[in-house]
Structure 1
Amino acid sequence: MHQDERTARRVPPTPVLIPVLGDQLSADLASLRDIDPKQAVVLMMEVWDEATYVRHHKKKIALIFSAMRHFADDLRAAGWTVDYVTLDARGNTQSFTGEVVRAAKRHKSKSIRVVEGAEYRVRAAQDEWADRTGLPVDILPDDRFVCPIVDFYGWAQGRREHRMEYFYREMRRKTGLLMQDDGKPVGGQWNFDRDNRATPPRGLNYPPPERFRPDDTTKEVLGLVAKRFDGHFGDLEPFGLPVTRKQALKALDQFIATALPDFGPYQDAMIAGQDYLYHSSLSLCLNLGLLDPVEVCRAAEEAYTRGDAPINSVEGFIRQIIGWREYIRGMYWWDMPKFAERNALNATRPLPEFYWTGDTNMRCLSESIGQTQREAYAHHIQRLMVLGNFAMMAGVAPQEISDWFLVVYFDAYEWVELPNVIGMSQFADGGMIASKPYASSGAYIDRMSDYCGRCRYDVKQKTGPDACPFNALYWHFLARHEKRFAANPRMGTMYGTWGRMSAEKRAEYLASAEAFLDTLEPAKAGWAKAAP
């Protein structure tokens, strides 16, 4: 966020308590700005409530705790007094509110200054702190984003449709990224997505992402997580994720130099055994606060200016950050708390057990889930067109698949995960985010991956026990939602094809899909949320 867009704040009564949350690991955080460190105490908290409100992937918990501890050390080195409450600290109440109340008494604080929580439930808890502590609480806007929430509301108000593309153009104009002096986009167009759908050639390889050897702090955290969160989903080690600002910058430099040039054409590709494939995975650094979104975009823009990366790769990467990321955050706050409960397609099927185990003969799903278990990561096409696509076409309850996504990925926070899943992936918002559901048959996965070649199912077969289940599920999904989607201009071709099928062929598709759905075992209780 540019300096002139920051909200000026009066100096709070001292001594001031400054809670810094686990996704606010930025030295230029608004609550740390324009205040003498000698007049403040920074409070950082590892609390059970945050690690278990869903049962997060072990690697995700370790990432956040390690990054928090390293950031606390950086703050101390910069002259701040940091009160760091570890998970196992004596007296830890295991909640943000409980620890704020305790710290305010411990330090005889006169006021509290905090940046607003990124998630609805955290922001709601912050509103209670004044009553719980009896102190004035200054809740500051999070200006680490390009678009303040109030500005997004201004953009969204009165619009019949809230499409990302138009919002993205406003963010390009605001930041000046990939813009000419005459106000036109560099390259003569806003979007180069048509150049970014290349089918991956055989033998496509990728530069491995930067990985970092755990230091003593991270090793201590790994031991803690192994002991206290052993029953959570996912592999804890090997662990090599960036946990400091210095490491995040190194990961950014490595991506720009080695992966960005081919990011564009192959960003939709899926190759077994190549978990990152030109993707940056810098989302974890952005969402923790270790990197600023504009600095990341500037680094990509500079690569284009130097001639080191083509416009389609650079524009596509920048669009994900100042377009999609900012837009999704805005839509989250625009519709919460209703967004979390939306279910426009009336989907009620329990999440299948194989989402937790990876034990399925559908190779695209087993590969994506296995990677997720190992890495706490899968890229956006695996999430949308394999994991999300299957859940939507199978009619899985959107809240169950949303909880799963929130558990398993290291970059998943509710503000970014929930609208991506409820809206983009499951169409449970009824079309607020996407203009059509992202449903596809096995042909798309076959075109964009090497998953189908060694799958137990035959992607070329349309129905029957040996056919790729995505094929029949696709038509089953369209058939049961025909009343809703038949008039959608982007789906007319598909419904035209369905209408030209013989009654016998349509019945064969439906029977094949239903026979497969009958084989799905529901997930056991307690994976996403433990019983109360």
Structure 2
Amino acid sequence: MKQKYQILRLILGDQLNLKHSWFLNADPAILYVMMEVKTETDYVWHHIQKACAFFAAMENFTETISNKGFETLYLHLDHPDNRQNFSDNLNDLIKKYQIEEFQYQLPDEYRLDQELKGFCSGLNISSCSFDSEHFYTTRTALADFFADRKEIIMESFYRAMRIKHHVLIHHDHDPEAGKWNFDAENRKKLPKNHKPNPPLLFDNDVRQPYERLLKAGVKTIGKIEPEYLQWPVNRKQSLKLLHYFCENCLPLFGTFQDAMQTNEWALYHSRLSFSMNTKLISPVEVVNAALATWEKDKKSITLNQIEGFIRQILGWREYMRGIYWMKMPEFESLNYFNHQTKLPAWYWTGKTHMNCLKQAISQSFHHAYAHHIQRLMITGNFALLAGINPDEVDFWYLGIYIDAIQWVEITNTRGMSQYADGGITGSKPYTASANYIHKMSNYCEGCKYDRNDKVGDNACPFNSLYWDFHDRHRDKLQHNHRLSMVYRLWDKMNPELKSAVLKRANYCLTNLDKL
């Protein structure tokens, strides 16, 4: 490596976009740097698969662009010159290579955005930032869209995105088949004898990053077989997973997207979120691939399948990113219900008598993954009903899932799941009793607790906690029109039964670690 460069370009671990304009042409005057630093490994307890996958994907990306003729430098976690934070490492590199200008892509996390802005403000050389060229929208697009509107509603944004990008649209503004949303058709439980397609898994050898993490004493959670990391760590694998989803899973994705099943952790989900969130593939590529598959075989892939998938990518993902940049940094401290309870210890082990939580948590530790309903209506639902401090919920979610980066995690967790934002991301708290869990899964089968009971030692904790939550927060929720039926049912309940329900809930709340 030569000793002088004109420009230093920093690439973050979630900016692995080979299609970025930075990589159109190699320039020997530009040095591209990636680095593994403890400020990124230590701010939460990351799942070991997540940490290894990031490092493997970063190294693979660096090798790929280097083979294309780009000047690169990769700073490993155990390198003797690694100062373990971006700013100190960058200062050393700027001095060592006599850099004249520093450049970076806009980070997707607020804390890194602030760190790099602060770093640039202290430089005595020029600096500039670039868009990551990944999303459909800019950071401020959502705020601009709702600037003159009283309510922030995802559906109106989603429809506008469909029209703007002409996705499932006829005559410039009409939705395919005259209907915007097929969500009501996408709530089916997996039939008893139905066997989903097996998930496409990879055998990535991540023993080297695994050893670096162990050597550095990085605290991680979860399980891994470092010779066989199942997640894609490069663009080729990510495109292969996208193709597999479109051909094998999309035909039943919508129908069973909310289903949960013991021993079926992948079902018909795409599992593309890690590839997308690290920018190995783009949302445009994913949407276009799904649309092309649907256009090719509309008999096998009904409209509710493709629309449900498009809504997650073109609608919800872009919407949540827009909320993040509208509301940070205040968003990460919101606690609408003033919940203060600590996360039960079994969130870190999966050792609970509640089978639904045991299944969802154990799966998360084993695969670094759970799909959106497991996150929202099992682990998230319980945390909300139990009054867990959203800081603790955020910490858990941000660490345990391979796709968890703050911009997408905190809006879904503190916002939609915990309603700690008071209704910014969702129009009501997403709460449910055992009835919903039984409706969408087989988790209640063989559970210690009885899903039909509200009171008594064997009553499912979700049942009493559901009513206790709404009773406890009546002053904040009773005027929400989407909860009017809940409060009517509660008010009609026999007074003795209500008292017994609250007594059972109190026991659960004071004995969370024993449930």
Instruction: State the TM-score bracket (shorter-chain normalisation).
Output: over 0.9
Deviations 1:5-62 (A, max 9, x none): xxxxxxxx971100000000011235x1566522200010011110111111111000
Contact preservation (8 Å) 1:14, 1:111: no
Q: Show the 5 A alignment for 1:266-281.
A: 266-281=256-271
Choose the corresponding residue for 2:306, options 302, 314, 317: 314
Map 1:6-405 → 2, pairs under 5 A: 15-30=6-21, 32=22, 36-215=26-205, 218-228=206-216, 231-237=219-225, 238-307=228-297, 308-405=300-397
The DSSP-based 3-state class of the residue aligned with 2:513 is coil
* Alpha-carbon distance in 2 for matches of 1:461, 1:177: 46
Shift of 1:464: 1.1
CA distance in 2, matches of 1:417, 1:54: 13
| SS of the residue 1:43 aligns to | strand
Counterpart of 2:499 in structure 1 is 507
Query: 1:434 is paired with a residue of what secondary structure?
Result: coil
Separation (CA, whole Å) in 2 of partners of 1:209 and 1:447: 24
Measured at CA, do residues 411 and 41 of structure 1 come closer, stay the same or move farther in structure 2, by a change above 3 Å? same
Change (3 A) 1:388 1:174: same
Asked whether the 8 Å contact 1:348–1:397 carries over to 2, the reply is yes
Q: Distance between the aligned counterparts of 2:176 and 2:93, measured in 1?
A: 51
CA 1:386/1:434 → structure 2, altered by over 3 Å: closer, same or farther?
Answer: same
Answer yes or no: is the 8 Å Cα contact 2:46–2:219 preserved in 1.
Answer: no
The 1-side partners of 2:427 and 2:143 are apart by 20
Instruction: Please state whether the residue corresponding to 1:365 is helix, strand or coil.
Output: helix
| Matched-pair contact (CA < 8 Å) for 2:162–2:168 | yes
Name the structure 2 match of 1:428. Answer: 420
Q: Partner amino acid for 1:220? A: Q
Encode CA deviations 1:284-327: one digit per residue, 9 max, x unaligned: 00001111101100111111111142211111111101100100
Runs of 4+ in structure 1 deviating by more than 3 angstroms, as ranges, are 33-36, 225-231
Pairing of 1:406-445 with structure 2 (within 5 A)? 406-445=398-437
Identity of aligned residues (%): 39
Gaps of 5+ in 1: 1-12, 523-532
Rounded to whole Å, the distance in 2 between the matches of 1:344 and 1:191 is 30
SS state at 1:452 partner: coil
In the alignment, is the contact (CA less than 8 A) between 1:173 and 1:179 conserved in 2? yes
Query: 1:368-392: CA deviations, max 9, x gaps?
Result: 0000000110000000000000000
2:224 is matched by which residue type in structure 1? L
**1: CA distance between counterparts of 2:244 and 2:25?**
35
Measured after TM superposition, the shift of residue 101 of structure 1 is 1.2
CA contact (8 A) 2:42 2:219 kept: no
Alpha carbons 2:5, 2:31 under 8 Å: kept = no
- Name stretches of at least 5 consecutive residues in structure 2 with no aligned partner: none
SS in 2 for 1:149: coil
Q: State the secondary structure of the residue aligned to 1:254.
A: helix
Distance 2:252 2:513 in 1: 40
Contact 1:209-1:251 at 8 Å conserved across structures: no
Once the 2 structures are TM-superposed, how far is the Cα of residue 226 of structure 1 from its aligned partner? 4.3
Q: d(CA) in 2 for partners of 1:432 and 1:230?
A: 35
1:349 Cα deviation from its structure 2 partner: 0.5
Which amino acid is 2:64 matched to? D
**One-letter amino acid matched to 1:189:** K
Q: Is the 8 A contact 1:43 1:103 kept in 2?
A: no
Residues 298 and 229 (structure 1), Cα distance of their counterparts in 2 relative to 1, 3 Å cut: farther
Query: What is the aligned length?
Result: 507
For 2:141 and 2:511, the matched residues in 1 are separated by: 48
Kept in 1: contact 2:254–2:304 (CA 8 A): yes
- The structural deviation recorded for 1:181 is 3.4
Q: Secondary structure at the match of 1:112?
A: strand
Taking structure 2 as the reference length, the TM-score comes to 0.96
Q: Which amino acid aligns with 2:259?
A: A
- Which amino acid is the alignment partner of residue 452 of structure 1? C
Q: Partner of 1:465 in structure 2?
A: 457
Q: List per-residue Cα deviations over 1:183-234 (Å, max 9, x = no partner).
A: 211121111101101122102322222212224xx33223333444574210
Paired residue type of 1:491: L
CA distance in 2, matches of 1:260, 1:354: 34
Equivalent in 473, 488, 508 of residue 516 of structure 1: 508
Amino acid at match of 2:449: Y
Tell me, yes or no, if the aligned pair for 1:457 and 1:466 is still in contact at 8 Å.
yes
Rounded Cα–Cα distance in structure 2 between residues aligned with 1:111 and 1:35 = 18
Give the distance between the partners of 1:229 and 1:200, measured in 2 at CA. 42
The secondary structure found in structure 2 opposite 1:113 is strand
Q: Write the distance in 2 (CA, Å) between the matches of 1:489 and 1:16.
A: 57
Q: Equivalents in 2 of 1:485, 1:219: separation in Å?
A: 50
**Letter paired with 1:100:** L
Equivalent residue letter for 1:255: F
Cα deviation digits, residues 404-444 of structure 1 (max 9, x gap) = 10010000000000010111000000001100000110000
